Amino acid sequence: MKVLKLLVVMVFVLLLFFTVGCASRPNVKPNTTADETGTMPVPTEQATAAPTPVEEQAVKYVVKKGDTLWGISTINDIYADPFQWPLLYKANRDQIKDPDIIEVGQELDVKKDYSQTQVSDAIQKAKDTPPYKPHTTPRKSLPLKY
């Protein structure tokens, strides 16, 4: 019988706790005093500072064994579209001489501020690129101007 009473009391306390909560409610009273003209102030919303725009942090990708620009472009945090690989090449021309040849450990910049026209152009160039032919040294001239 004592166990049953204790159980009922505990259930009651838990119900009370969950319905009332453990945090006190803030006591905010509206301003009911008149200003010097004798009129009541009209409530206004407090102005909040607009968030300052944050520049998109540059994304870097370190090339791993077996990576290709096509494969890197498929990664969701990169472009999520393999046909956008020319954008990776364009952003990293200073360190990539041939888009077919990238080196393990290269740190590639991933730019995402391209216009829709630039993205469409890159996709078309990827589609126009001739099939891959294995080679180990950079080609003297690329099949397209990327």
Q: Which residues of 117-135 are buried (b: 16+ CB within 10 A; e: fewer)?
A: eebebbbebbeebeeeeee
Residues 114/79, Cβ–Cβ less than 8 Å? no
pTM: 0.60
- What whole-number distance in Å separates Cα of residue 83 and Cα of residue 127? 7
- 9-13, 109-113, 133-137: range with lowest mean pLDDT: 9-13
pLDDT 10s digits, 26-56: 555 555 565 566 666 655 555 555 555 545 5
Residue 28 lies in a domain: no
- The answer as to whether 102 is a domain residue is yes
In the chain, % helix, strand, coil (3-state, to 5) comes to 30, 5, 60
The DSSP result for 45-100, as a single string, is: PPP-PPPPPPPPPPEEEE--TT--HHHHHTSTTTTS-GGGHHHHHHHTTTT-SBTT
Task: Give 65 or 23, the one with higher predicted confidence.
Answer: 65
What CA–CA distance (Å, rounded) separates 64 from 21? Answer: 53
Residue 106 inside a domain? The answer is: yes
In a domain, 97, yes or no: yes
Domain assignment present for 79: yes
**Binning pLDDT at 50, 70 and 90, where does residue 9 land?**
confident
Domain count, the chain: 1
Residue 88 lies in a domain: yes
Answer yes or no: is pLDDT of 125 > 60. yes
Taking the C-alpha atoms of residue 24 and residue 13, their distance in angstroms, rounded to an integer, is 17
Q: Is the CB of residue 106 less than 8 Å from the CB of residue 60?
A: no
pLDDT value at 13 more than 70? no
- pLDDT of 144 reads 85
| Res 57: pLDDT | 60
pLDDT digits (tens, 9 = 90+) for 76-95: 999 999 999 999 999 999 99
pLDDT at 1: 72
* Range(s) of the domain holding residue 63: 59-128
Kindly tell me if the per-residue pLDDT of 17 is higher than 60.
Answer: no
The answer as to whether 69 is a domain residue is: yes
Query: What's the CATH code of the domain at 111?
Result: 3.10.350.10
The answer to whether residue 10 sits within a structural domain is no
| Residue 144: DSSP 8-state | S
